[in-house]
Structure 1
């Protein structure tokens, strides 16, 4: 269901359901003194909860 700033792109064959839509985005540049997110060092131990042991790749 598209929101107030979204625009339907494709409808189903009955023209009653939106299959995909596009959204408007704000392209205003961030200020030069913007503080970005903190970098978190990753170690094999910190990744362990994210791994899937039942996958052939572990991810």
Structure 2
């Protein structure tokens, strides 16, 4: 009944994913490939979590 009061984990993860992706882009532009690789890996991890939540919600 009060489902709209529950926090949406996908929305929160997407926001973090966007931030990590942007940080990775700026690191790459600066030439800091090590940070770029690390941030990209973290963003990819978050994306996998997002996909897991979305597939769970569709079932």
Fold similarity call, TM over 0.5 = no
Q: Please give the TM-score of this superposition, normalised by the length of structure 2.
A: 0.20
Structure number with larger C-alpha Rg: 1
| Structure ranking higher in strand proportion | 1
Q: Please give the TM-score of this superposition, normalised by the length of structure 1.
A: 0.20
Larger RCO, structures 1/2 (Cα 8 Å, 6+ apart): 2
